[in-house]
Amino acid sequence: MKTTHQRAHASRRGSALALALMIVTIVALLSAMMLQLSSAHWRREAGAVDQKRAFYIAEAGLSEAIYGLLQGNSGIVGTQELPVRFGDGVFWTQAESDAQDIVHIESTALCGQARAKLAIAIELYYDNALNLGAFSGRNMTIGAGAYIDAYNSKNGPYSAPLPGAMLYRATVGSNGDVSVGGLRGLVPTTILGNVTPGPDKSVSVALGGNVVGNTSPRADSVELPLITIPAASWFGPMTVSPAGTGLLPSGTYAGPNMTIGTNATGTIVGPAIVVVDSLHLAGSARLRVDSSVGPVEIYVSQAMTTTALSSIVNVTGDPRGLSLWLDMSTRTGGVLSFAHQGAFHGSIYAPRADVAIAANAPVYGSVVAGGLTLAPGAQFHIDVSAGDLGSTDMSLSVLHWRPVAVPREIAGDLRYEPLADFAARGVALPAPGAGHVPIDMAVEYTRDDGEVRTFRGTEEAFDRSVVDAVIEEVVQPPVRTENRVGERRSWAAIDDPVTAKLKPVKGERGMGPRDDDDDDD
């Protein structure tokens, strides 16, 4: 009996151990399952946080690219091989322009194992109207046999484009209709660039006329801002007697008029600002502008007249060295018939006046006027750098914003964490401000899908694998935009306005005596 009882007791202890072991196993399995669920939930939460971070980093990339565009850079920030670091992730951007000059920016961001990509399309507006090239606020007339092309004075003096090698497109436009003449004898009217009429307006080209570019109308009219006359020290009348000479050293001057008599020569040395009510050049008079140190800006508030054989000579031949700001109105006789002898290197801005360019006065620069007429046989060589003078503030309009698919080769490798990878390789990622790619080349090309795009950046950043055919390729220096109207400055200040410090130069007596009665004004 005792043996049987012991056996039963041992059997009960074995059953209890098995039950306990089963319970422990179940609890362990439940704990493992809870741990796995908790870990999966944590990974999902961490992944969601990283995905939001990647999204916001991509948005920051778009903002940084747009800032770069407004500063004159390409809009490209970093590259896939060397992105920029932002917060807990990295990003890089790409920027291209299409045939309508709409800038398309794509920003790709990586944060942990999350990826995001955003795209935006913007249209940039330059407040500096000198960028318009040849523009008329009303209808424009281009006479028979006229010739219009474009060049960049930053790259040196003008040289005629070779056949089939148009490096720069002329920008010709108006808020009204544009009439293009035909043959003048055997010489055809030639415009190497786009002619853009106003909204719902058109371009009429006579037989023999040739426009190498687009003639579609613009969507909205261009508002020509009124001129702000800068403050200048009163100097009095600035007059050079017939057959005499006169000099205005670098400085700021204001007076009722500037008159250069018959066969006389007046010289203005830049940097200088001259503000007058009227400017008159008598027969065979010469107004010389020496812009070798800095540009010369002349503001005329009422009237400007040039007579036969008179001339305005920019001795450096650089159109950026001379700008005429004509605030006169057609209601007060504000019509400038540019009876100029020889070439004119400079820019004319007359938003309320009519300007007529004669055949014997080839223009190198920019002319923007309330009304613009080119005489038969006139020549106009538009300087694409003319906008470096004056206000070059830039605004933009957002056309669309949208998320886009992340490329498969980037989205597929979820094990790749960029910050850890670059840290392991000892690579220091640049900050966003140091990752901007400047402009040193521009390529207009056709993509594989037939779309025309323009890339602006460095040779290394240009992906030629998507190019079907190159239309035009230009090498150019970075563009700076930090210049303003009415601030007398040297060329050093224009080329590098951040580091150059221009000390004021006091005005001295030059053309004509000072009106001492007005010293206290």
Does residue 391 have a pLDDT over 80?
no
Does residue 104 have a pLDDT over 70?
yes
CA atoms of 48 and 288, how far apart (whole Å): 69
pLDDT of residue 517: 39
Does residue 140 have a pLDDT over 60?
yes
Does residue 94 have a pLDDT over 80?
yes
Does residue 254 have a pLDDT over 60?
yes
Does residue 40 have a pLDDT over 70?
no
- Segment 262-268 shows an average pLDDT of 94
Name which of 17-21, 123-127, 362-366, 480-484 the model is least confident about: 480-484
Q: What residues have CB less than 8 Å from 239, skipping those under 6 apart?
A: 246, 257, 258, 259, 261, 511, 512
CA atoms of 147 and 364, how far apart (whole Å): 12
Give the confidence band of 241 by pLDDT, cuts at 50, 70, 90: very high
- Segment 141-167 shows an average pLDDT of 86
Does residue 494 have a pLDDT over 80?
no
Backbone angles phi and psi of 259, in degrees to 5 = -130, 125
Give the confidence band of 394 by pLDDT, cuts at 50, 70, 90: low
User: 70 versus 358: which is more confidently predicted?
Assistant: 358
| Mean residue pLDDT across the chain | 79
User: 132 versus 245: which is more confidently predicted?
Assistant: 245
Query: Pairing state of beta strands 190-191 and 210-211?
Result: parallel
pLDDT of residue 168: 82
Look up residue 175 and give its two tokens. Answer: 């808020």
DSSP state of 195: E
pLDDT of residue 161: 83
For residue 45, give the H/E element and its range: helix 2-70
- Segment 333-353 shows an average pLDDT of 78
Q: How far, in Å, are 112, 252, 257, 260, 341 from residue 152 at the CA level?
A: 46, 29, 33, 31, 24
pLDDT of residue 58: 94
Does residue 115 have a pLDDT over 50?
yes
Residues 431-469: tens digit of each pLDDT: 998 888 877 667 778 887 777 777 777 766 777 777 888
Give the confidence band of 39 by pLDDT, cuts at 50, 70, 90: low
CA atoms of 186 and 492, how far apart (whole Å): 46
Per DSSP (E only), the strands in 12-146 are: 84-86, 89-98, 103-111, 114-126, 134-136, 140-142
Rounded to two decimals, what is the model's pTM? 0.57
DSSP string for 267-308: EEESSEEEEEEEEEE-TT-EEEEE-SSS-EEEEEEEEEEE-T
User: 337 versus 136: which is more confidently predicted?
Assistant: 136
Q: Which of 394, 364, 366, 381 is nearest to 480 (CA)?
A: 394
Percent of the chain residues topping a pLDDT of 70: 78
Q: Provide the residue type at 254 as one letter.
A: A
Q: Could you check whether the bond before residue 83 is cis, i.e. omega within 30 degrees of 0?
A: no
Name the 3-class secondary structure at 407. Answer: coil
- Segment 302-310 shows an average pLDDT of 85
Rg of the chain in Å (alpha carbons): 34
CA atoms of 320 and 155, how far apart (whole Å): 12
Q: How far, in Å, are 149, 263, 485 from residue 342 at the CA level?
A: 18, 15, 27
Give the confidence band of 41 by pLDDT, cuts at 50, 70, 90: low
Per DSSP (E only), the strands in 215-271 are: 238-240, 245-248, 251-260, 265-269
Q: Provide the residue type at 219 as one letter.
A: A
CA atoms of 117 and 92, how far apart (whole Å): 10
pLDDT of residue 85: 94
pLDDT of residue 8: 55
Give the confidence band of 515 by pLDDT, cuts at 50, 70, 90: very low
Name which of 89-98, 173-182, 454-463 the model is least confident about: 454-463
Q: Which of 217, 153, 148 is nearest to 180 (CA)?
A: 148
- Segment 383-391 shows an average pLDDT of 67
pLDDT of residue 31: 75
User: 414 versus 262: which is more confidently predicted?
Assistant: 262
Does residue 274 have a pLDDT over 60?
yes
pLDDT of residue 203: 94
User: 493 versus 315: which is more confidently predicted?
Assistant: 315
Backbone angles phi and psi of 101, in degrees to 5 = 65, 25
- Segment 16-33 shows an average pLDDT of 77
Q: How far, in Å, are 143, 171, 321, 347, 383 from residue 191 at the CA level?
A: 12, 9, 25, 19, 14
- The Cβ-side half-sphere exposure at 174, using a 13 Å CA radius, reads 24
DSSP state of 317: -
User: 34 versus 514: which is more confidently predicted?
Assistant: 34
Look up residue 30 and give its two tokens. Answer: 């439940």
CA atoms of 146 and 46, how far apart (whole Å): 67
- Segment 234-257 shows an average pLDDT of 91
pLDDT of residue 464: 79
Does residue 199 have a pLDDT over 50?
yes
Does residue 417 have a pLDDT over 80?
yes
